[in-house]
Chains A and B, each alone.
Chain A
Amino acid sequence: MTDALPEMPTFPMARATGCPFDPSPELSRRLEDAPVSRVRLWDGSTPWMVTRHADVRALLADPRVSVDVAQPGFPHTNAVSKARDAHMKTLMQMDAPEHTAQRRLLTSDFTIRRMEALRPRIQRIVDDLIDEMLAGPNPVDLVEAFALPVPSLVICELLGAPYTARDLFHRVSRTLVMDEPDPEQAMAASQELNAYLEELVDKKNAEPGDDVFSRLAVEQYRTGAMTRREIATAGQLLLVAGHDTTATMIALGTTALLAHPDQLSAVRDGGDPALVTNAAEELLRYLSITHTEARRVAREDLEIGGRLIRKGDGIIAVKSIANRDPSAFPDPDTLDVRRKARHHVAFGFGAHQCLGQSLARVELQVVYSTLYRRIPTLALAVPLEQLTFKENAVFYGVRELPVTW
């Protein structure tokens, strides 16, 4: 293994011009030549970067690494997230045993059975939005007209919030995951959302329905297991984690399929639910949208990929390049919706793997099996080269997606 590359690259690394779906060529080079190596961050710190699929899995499942953002060596994404993390502690910033106990309060709401029960409601949301789109202007921006409203409405459904809350969810989530968030705006948005969600807990406590917040209000708030604030924070987590992520996978996934017509026609014309399931996994793998990757700090000395990582060192598990590791995915840079890709790490790995992954899967399966079938002539309204991408956002996606049919 190369002991030291001539220069220490800055993280995150720029993608190559004209390759909007591929990770930075520098990441590919590291995967091959220096799979565990140091990088430099915005604040001058030099955490480790782990790139291989097997190493990323091993690291994220290792109890000796921590998500505690208060630890001095933790590799923060930017100044805003560092400031926000100091105020907001969600599941994503908790270690075991606190994390285990808190997560188990929410896991019953995301079982496969519950998510499958939501499928008809999600199908209806998707069909209604497509009806609206077909009745509206052509061309249209698919991000605004479809990709963002789908998860907004699904989250309303899940939390038991009225559909009128979708504008608030949309606006707040946008502020919190912007390319270059303004700290004051982000804080104000977070407070506005919390106030709304705390009020919603009271409403659900008074009049419970069939939704996550009603269950939390009745089972956790009334019994004193969770405070109103804690339930609101859980709601905020569901929104931040479930809104822009899904919207991005809808819009960027559609962009990738439109850029690979043979793959699009396989998804559209296959008539096979198993193929759509595969396609969703493959798009999750191929696009790996979490641009901030998975960040940890070592609680003890540990060895990863033959490298000694010291207690207190920051570590970035680069899921996007692990998902292009040829030892886990043959011909990894090819989008192949027929490939078995379920072992990808787009949702992370270990105890912090995405809580809402089963919901995301159902949403994406419904969208990918419906949108192209109902609008078979769907096409880009501008050349692919004219699209611009969110290079610095938490989730890598397409800014606008003008489509026609």
Chain B
Amino acid sequence: MKITIDQDACIGSGQCVLASPEVFDQRDSDGIVVLLQDSPEPGLQEDVWEASRICPALAITLTPS
């Protein structure tokens, strides 16, 4: 799994951080998403999938690697 994020679309809701804190973080200055790792191990992928599903800005794209 390969993750790409769209920081322009992100609205800083922080939902991805709640769903998958190992993979997503927020900038302190404006709450915009920061990717901690873009190729998560299989054990983290269910949470990452959940994060992409609940992102209100559709700012997380997952592609098979």
Contact = CB atoms under 8 A, between A and B. Distances in A.
12 contacts: A61-B56, A107-B12, A107-B30, A108-B27, A108-B30, A110-B12, A110-B14, A111-B14, A111-B26, A342-B19, A350-B57, A361-B18
Q: Main SS of chain A's interface residues?
A: helix
Q: Main SS of chain B's interface residues?
A: loop
B50 interface: yes
Interface size of A as a range: 20 to 34
B11 interface: yes
Nearest to B51: A342
Interface in A92-135: 100, 103-104, 107-108, 110-113
A70 B59 CA distance: 29
Contact of B30 (A104, A347, A349): A104
A113 to B, nearest CB: 7
B18 A112 contact: yes
Interface of B: 11-15, 17-19, 26-32, 50, 53-54, 56-58
A309 interface: no
Contacts, number: 60
A222 to B, nearest CB: 17
A107 B56 CA distance: 14
Contacts of B28: 108, 111, 113
A234 to B, nearest CB: 15
A357 B16 CA distance: 13
A35 interface: no
B35 to A, nearest CB: 15
Interface string A339-377: 000110001111101000110010000000000000000
